[in-house]
Structure formats: structure tokens, C-alpha cells
Amino acid sequence: MNTDLVLINGDIVSSKEALIDYNDRGHQFGDGVFEIVPVYNGKVFGMIPHMENLFTSVTRLKIPAVYMVEELVEFHEALIKATGMENGEIYTQVTRGSAPFGLAFPEMSVPQLVMQPVFSDRSVLLEFQQKGVKLITEKDVRWQHCDVNTLNRLPEVMARQKAAISGAFDALFVRDGKITETTESSFMLVKDEVLWTAPENENIHKNVTRQVIKERLALDLGMPVVEKNFDIDFAMKAEEAFICGPRCEIVPVTKIDRKLVNNGEVGKVVPQLLEAYKAFVAKECPAR
């Protein structure tokens, strides 16, 4: 396994050779987008929907599309093969490219693509998935287009650090009294045998794991899904709560701030969803 490789504009190089122009607008202004794609058994999970998310973000920021989806698929496969990655994520960034300092779009710039492998066997998740985690609430001060995965993530960084200091797994954002999501995962509830989650709009990131749960797993388990805004009081009255995303998969939430969810116990539905999710992933990305 070679952990010292990255992909820059289609070329796989040593991280020591991965040079980015200091005038790159991603560095100067956060003028770029990202996508995190999970890897299981040396195979990408959910490639097409993840690339759709990436292209949506690129289009929304009016960054020219330099590569086709097929090329990005090949880049992922090449990087996985070159590094020998079995499990982890590929973190992809696309910036508007390098240009003289100035906020307005440059007349001439070439978008830059960077793909970084993040190695993980996910064993660290097992304890969290079995015992549940604590979240703290935090005012959602992010911009009004969270559905675009921009590189501007300072609110998430500060909230996640606050959670770390308080001994929590993550921070749960609240906007205008309503729960949106955590710093990098979607938030969902189980209440009266119904799955609740915030509506997909400009206040939350597009999340492929959330999409799989809504459109496949909940259906298989016979659970209706309600996409509607709800507050903390509503969440605390739920039988179960959990977060989901490409990095954490599905993790039960047993405590929010100082209050227990389901008396601090992991319920029955979330483990069923996790088992179904792992089975779905194993089918899409079988072991070699």
C-alpha cells in the first residue's frame, strides 16, 4: 500500500511533488468544490451519484467542466490501483484555477483537479455504531447554499472543534430553530415507525448515503420517509436518532447536549438500517 500518492490534473504523483500555485483561487478564496467518495474492497461505492453531486457543485459555481464523468471514474480507479487502497475515501477538489489576485472571475484560468486518498479500515466506527454517540447543538451560520459543496468550510471547522473539546462526536446545526445536519453528515430520526429527515434544499449538503437510506433501505424495511423541518424538542421525543454519511456510514445518536435520546440506548431500527446498508455496500463492492 502506497500512502504517498495523489492525483493532480490526471497525473498520479508523490505528495512531495504535488505542487499547487499559490495563486490558485481555491487557496486564495476557497473558490472551488469538493466531493468525498467512499471506497470498499478496492472499489468505489456510489460513483455516479457522487459525480453528479460534484458536477452540480461545479456548475453552480460556474467553473468550466474540464473532465468528463468517464475520465473521473478512470482517475478514481487508477488512484486506487496505484495506492493499493482497500478501504477509505477519495477526497476530490476542483478549483477555478490560478489567476492574478482579484475576486472577479479571471478571463483566462484552467480549473485544477486534486484527488487525495484517505486510508481507513473503518474499525474505529464499530464502537460508535454499537454504543451510539453524543452531539452538541450549534447555531448554523453557514451560507445560504449548503447544497453546493464549496471549499469554504470554516463554520464546520469551528463547530467540529467545539464538539471535540466538549467530548462530542459532532455538532448538530440548528437554523431558525430547525435542525439541518451535522458538520459532515445528515441527521435522521425514527418516530412512530416513520423515518424523519430535513427536506433536501439549500440548507443541507447532498448526501448519497442519505439518498440510499431514503430510496432503498427504508423501502426495504417498510418504513415511510417524511422530509420535513423539525426542532430539537421534536427530536428528543423520537424513539431513535442517527447520523449518516460517506465517512461515518450510519451511527446512532444517544445524546444531544445534556439530554438522552431513547434513555441513552441504541434502539432496534438503526442497527437494522446499518446492517442493510452494509449488505447493500457489499453487493455493490464485493470483496476480491
Q: Residues 68-88: pLDDT tens digits?
A: 999 999 999 999 999 999 999
Of the pLDDT bands very low, low, confident and very high (cuts 50, 70, 90), residue 146 is very high
Residues 55 and 170 grouped into a single domain = no
Residues 48 and 175 grouped into a single domain = no
- Average pLDDT rounded to a whole number, residues 20-24: 93
Taking each helix axis from N to C end, the angle separating 69-83 and 47-60, rounded to the nearest 10 degrees, works out to 120
Residues 143 and 189 grouped into a single domain = yes
- Average pLDDT rounded to a whole number, residues 109-125: 94
Of the pLDDT bands very low, low, confident and very high (cuts 50, 70, 90), residue 234 is very high
Give the burial class of 2: count Cβ atoms within 10 A of its Cβ; 0-12 exposed, 13-18 middle, 19 or more buried.
exposed
Of the pLDDT bands very low, low, confident and very high (cuts 50, 70, 90), residue 33 is very high
Residues 148 and 99 grouped into a single domain = no
Question: Which pTM was predicted?
Answer: 0.95
Summarize pLDDT for 249-287 with one digit per residue, the tens: 999 999 999 999 999 999 999 999 999 999 999 999 999
Give the burial class of 18: count Cβ atoms within 10 A of its Cβ; 0-12 exposed, 13-18 middle, 19 or more buried.
middle
Show the domain range for 83: 5-119
Residues 6+ apart with CB under 8 A from 107: none
Residue 128: what are its φ and ψ, rounded to 5°?
A: -65, -40
Query: Into how many domains does the chain fold?
Result: 2
Residues 175 and 57 grouped into a single domain = no
Residues 60 and 180 grouped into a single domain = no
Residue 108: predicted pLDDT: 84
